[in-house]
Amino acid sequence: MLEYCILLLLNKRACYANDIISKLKAAEMIVVEGTLYPLLTRLKNDNLLKYEWQESTQGPPRKYYALTTDGEEALRQLDNSWNEIAKTVTILQTKRLEIQ
Protein backbone atom coordinates (compact mmCIF):
# COMPACT_ATOMS: atom_id res chain seq x y z
CA MET A 1 0.00 0.00 0.00
CA LEU A 2 2.81 2.40 0.90
CA GLU A 3 4.56 1.67 -2.40
CA TYR A 4 1.36 2.52 -4.26
CA CYS A 5 0.93 5.77 -2.33
CA ILE A 6 4.51 6.82 -3.08
CA LEU A 7 4.09 6.10 -6.79
CA LEU A 8 0.86 8.11 -6.77
CA LEU A 9 2.66 11.09 -5.23
CA LEU A 10 5.58 10.90 -7.62
CA ASN A 11 3.29 10.58 -10.63
CA LYS A 12 2.40 14.26 -10.25
CA ARG A 13 5.93 15.61 -9.84
CA ALA A 14 9.39 14.77 -8.55
CA CYS A 15 9.75 15.08 -4.77
CA TYR A 16 12.45 14.72 -2.17
CA ALA A 17 12.03 12.36 0.79
CA ASN A 18 10.92 14.94 3.37
CA ASP A 19 8.33 16.25 0.92
CA ILE A 20 7.00 12.70 0.44
CA ILE A 21 6.75 12.26 4.21
CA SER A 22 4.90 15.59 4.54
CA LYS A 23 2.44 14.73 1.78
CA LEU A 24 1.75 11.31 3.28
CA LYS A 25 1.24 12.92 6.70
CA ALA A 26 -1.22 15.39 5.15
CA ALA A 27 -3.12 12.36 3.84
CA GLU A 28 -3.11 10.95 7.40
CA MET A 29 -0.51 8.26 6.68
CA ILE A 30 2.38 8.48 9.12
CA VAL A 31 5.68 7.24 7.69
CA VAL A 32 9.12 7.74 9.20
CA GLU A 33 12.43 8.12 7.38
CA GLY A 34 13.55 4.68 8.54
CA THR A 35 10.67 3.17 6.59
CA LEU A 36 10.74 5.49 3.59
CA TYR A 37 14.42 5.46 2.61
CA PRO A 38 14.75 1.66 2.25
CA LEU A 39 11.55 1.60 0.19
CA LEU A 40 12.79 4.40 -2.09
CA THR A 41 16.08 2.50 -2.54
CA ARG A 42 14.23 -0.71 -3.39
CA LEU A 43 11.98 1.08 -5.89
CA LYS A 44 15.05 2.66 -7.49
CA ASN A 45 16.84 -0.70 -7.64
CA ASP A 46 13.72 -2.18 -9.26
CA ASN A 47 13.94 0.61 -11.89
CA LEU A 48 10.60 2.10 -10.85
CA LEU A 49 12.19 5.34 -9.63
CA LYS A 50 15.06 7.54 -10.69
CA TYR A 51 16.54 10.49 -8.88
CA GLU A 52 18.52 13.60 -9.50
CA TRP A 53 20.28 15.96 -7.16
CA GLN A 54 19.00 19.53 -7.07
CA GLU A 55 20.48 22.49 -5.27
CA SER A 56 18.49 23.77 -2.32
CA THR A 57 18.21 27.33 -1.07
CA GLN A 58 17.89 25.91 2.46
CA GLY A 59 20.90 23.66 2.96
CA PRO A 60 22.65 20.91 1.02
CA PRO A 61 21.47 19.56 -2.35
CA ARG A 62 18.38 17.34 -2.25
CA LYS A 63 17.72 14.05 -3.99
CA TYR A 64 14.47 14.38 -5.98
CA TYR A 65 12.73 11.13 -6.91
CA ALA A 66 10.59 10.65 -10.03
CA LEU A 67 8.91 7.75 -11.80
CA THR A 68 10.68 5.92 -14.60
CA THR A 69 8.76 4.47 -17.54
CA ASP A 70 8.66 1.16 -15.65
CA GLY A 71 7.38 3.06 -12.60
CA GLU A 72 4.57 4.58 -14.65
CA GLU A 73 3.60 1.09 -15.86
CA ALA A 74 3.74 -0.29 -12.31
CA LEU A 75 1.48 2.55 -11.20
CA ARG A 76 -1.04 1.72 -13.95
CA GLN A 77 -1.06 -1.91 -12.80
CA LEU A 78 -1.50 -0.89 -9.17
CA ASP A 79 -4.32 1.47 -10.18
CA ASN A 80 -6.09 -1.44 -11.87
CA SER A 81 -5.58 -3.69 -8.85
CA TRP A 82 -6.80 -1.01 -6.48
CA ASN A 83 -9.92 -0.40 -8.58
CA GLU A 84 -10.70 -4.12 -8.62
CA ILE A 85 -10.25 -4.37 -4.85
CA ALA A 86 -12.39 -1.28 -4.25
CA LYS A 87 -15.13 -2.70 -6.46
CA THR A 88 -15.09 -6.02 -4.61
CA VAL A 89 -15.16 -4.34 -1.20
CA THR A 90 -18.07 -2.14 -2.27
CA ILE A 91 -20.00 -5.20 -3.44
CA LEU A 92 -19.30 -6.99 -0.16
CA GLN A 93 -20.31 -3.93 1.88
CA THR A 94 -23.56 -3.67 -0.05
CA LYS A 95 -24.32 -7.38 0.39
CA ARG A 96 -23.53 -7.14 4.11
CA LEU A 97 -26.04 -4.33 4.44
CA GLU A 98 -28.63 -6.37 2.52
CA ILE A 99 -28.13 -9.40 4.79
CA GLN A 100 -28.51 -7.41 8.02
Domain harbouring 88, CATH code = 1.10.10.10
Q: Does this model's pTM top 0.75?
A: yes
Based on the structure, what is the number of domains in the chain? 1
Residue 10 contacts residue 66 (beta carbons within 8 Å): yes
pLDDT single digits (tens) 7-26: 999 998 999 999 999 999 99
pLDDT single digits (tens) 43-97: 999 999 999 999 988 889 999 999 999 999 999 999 999 999 999 999 998 887 6
* pLDDT the model gives residue 100: 58
Q: Which residue(s) pair with 20 in the sheet? A: none
Residue 37 contacts residue 87 (beta carbons within 8 Å): no
Amino acid at 5: C
Return d(Cα 49, Cα 68) in angstroms, integer.
5
Amino acid at 76: R
Tell me the residue range of the domain where 46 lies: 2-99
